[in-house]
Amino acid sequence: MSSYPAGLSVSNRALIMLSDALRHRRGQVGTRWRRLTTGEQARLVLAHLRKGETYADLATGFAIGTTTAFRYIREALDVLAALAPTLNQAIAVATAKAFVILDGTLLRIDRVGISSGRDRPYYSGKHKCHGVNVQVLADPVGRLIWASPALPSARHDMGAAREHGLIDALHAAGVRVIADNGYRGSGSTVPQRRRPADPETGQRRRLSRNQKAVNSAHARQRGPGERPNAQLKNWKILRKIRCCPRKATVLVKAVLVLIHAS
């Protein structure tokens, strides 16, 4: 297999942060010698996360074995996941903001256990594909504050946010939350919607001009909340997760730490 030089669009600060974390890890376990230095291991991991390179391709490029590349990446993912902010830390950051934007995103996965029906919880009827549900919290200008652990995508956004304790924690801290209609009833600020159909005519009453203006203002506030979703999926490893869906949480946490480091 041939190899070629390539660029990596990742901040040097993220590379240095990961290198330092891996150096600390090697000091803890008492590693004496490895095929790659901590800096080379960090580049190996970033290439896997940012560009979605396979273990075989990375092994060829770094002149190591495929199993070695696998071990290096798994070790780094665990190190990064341990550095991810907790929900309490995210709430502490959110309290300093005028408001926060809550949204859910779907990360696609390979279909698993089709014959036994184990893929059903991961099938999203809304998106018509298999994936995992991740709740994303952003500040008013669209900076990523926190990303939740991954749940099967059949779970509704409201149910997922409540299971993580996110909605209760935000309201207990007195944080104003901007969200879409999927979070109606959670106490968050959501758009106006048309009233139920008239039982006599069967038609719904249209929104007034003022209600439409309120919805437009709400959409402008909620719009930057799409930026963190795009930031997560800018890391190709999250565009379609090919490992076990139970490993998706570790991937999300690792990418979250790297985005914060950048």
d(Cα 130, Cα 113) in Å, to the nearest integer?
12
d(Cα 243, Cα 233) in Å, to the nearest integer?
16
**Lowest-pLDDT choice from 2-11, 168-177, 192-201, 215-224:** 192-201
Whether this model's pTM surpasses 0.85: yes
- Report the pLDDT averaged over residues 232-245: 91
DSSP state of 179: -
Q: Residue 75 pLDDT > 90, yes or no?
A: yes
Q: Residue 204 pLDDT > 80, yes or no?
A: no
- Report the pLDDT averaged over residues 106-130: 82
Phi (first) and psi of residue 29, to 5 degrees: -85, -10
Cβ-based burial of 252 (10 A; exposed 0-12, middle 13-18, buried ≥19): buried
Residue 192 contacts residue 215 (beta carbons within 8 Å) = yes
In which band, very low, low, confident or very high, does the pLDDT at 125 lie, cut at 50, 70 and 90? confident
- pLDDT tens for each residue of 144-171: 999 999 999 888 899 999 999 999 999 9
Identify the three-state secondary structure at position 226.
Answer: helix
Identify the three-state secondary structure at position 10.
Answer: coil
